[in-house]
Chain A
Amino acid sequence: ETGVTQTPRHLVMGMTNKKSLKCEQHLGHNAMYWYKQSAKKPLELMFVYNFKEQTENNSVPSRFSPECPNSSHLFLHLHTLQPEDSALYLCASSQDRGWGEQYFGPGTRLTVT
């Protein structure tokens, strides 16, 4: 595997479900990011991790819970989501926090029913 991978690619979940999104980067980077992409809106930064430490939580509701066990893996745990949370969730990585060039995964298309 190369670059940034995300699983699953598609997820449909009910509002009472608990699910997790997984991201893995094979680039040797130190920083990882979660973004939300909704139609007709710019990419929204959700969380930033640098060397496994969370350095930013962009006022994200607590029903989204990130986890970064090491610099290569990032998870987004989902619990009691709302239909408006349906979106494409993108993971990205960069050499370091604030480096500039970020490399994105293919995303997880989430639908909350």
Chain B
Amino acid sequence: GQQLNQSPQSMFIQEGEDVSMNCTSSSIFNTWLWYKQEPGEGPVLLIALYKAGELTSNGRLTAQFGITRKDSFLNISASIPSDVGIYFCAGQKALGGNEKLTFGTGTRLTIIP
């Protein structure tokens, strides 16, 4: 079935560094969502994007809806220890009806002391 490819699969960075990750698809999505999941918890919605080219920020996090509608990007500036976790993208092809979310396999972020 449809799958979203997230890159990279894992990242090891030092505190204070900026982080970039992306999510790509072979087909068009009209909604992109970014979630963060910490160990032992459920995913938490970070940012929702609804329009091609849209750039949305949530604190140090910025996400973009790719112009082709086949990709999305998440950036974290000046990383801190609490940014550790797995970041998932999710896409939906249209709003309403029986549309479902398709999830990526996640990018695991580790911060090296």
Question: In residues 67-113 of chain A, which contact B (Cβ within 8 Å)?
Answer: 90, 92, 96-107, 109
Contacts of B101 in A (CB 8 A): 45, 100, 102
How many A-B contacts if CB must be within 8 Å? 64
User: What is the interface size of chain A, counting residues whose CB is below 8 A from a CB of the partner?
Assistant: 25
User: Which residues from chain B contact A53 at a C-beta distance below 8 Å?
Assistant: none
State the CA gap A40–B105 with chains docked (Å).
7
Binding site for B on A (CB under 8 A): 4, 6, 40-43, 45, 48, 55-56, 90, 92, 96-107, 109
5 pairs from A and B in contact (CB 8 Å cutoff): A43-B43, A45-B101, A98-B100, A100-B92, A102-B33
B-to-A contact residues, CB < 8 Å:
3-4, 31, 33, 35, 40-45, 48, 50, 88, 90, 92, 94-105
Q: Apart from A48-B100, A56-B100, A100-B95, list 18 A-B contacts with CB within 8 A.
A: A42-B4, A42-B103, A45-B101, A92-B42, A98-B94, A98-B95, A100-B92, A100-B101, A101-B45, A102-B45, A102-B90, A104-B42, A104-B43, A104-B45, A105-B42, A106-B40, A107-B41, A107-B42
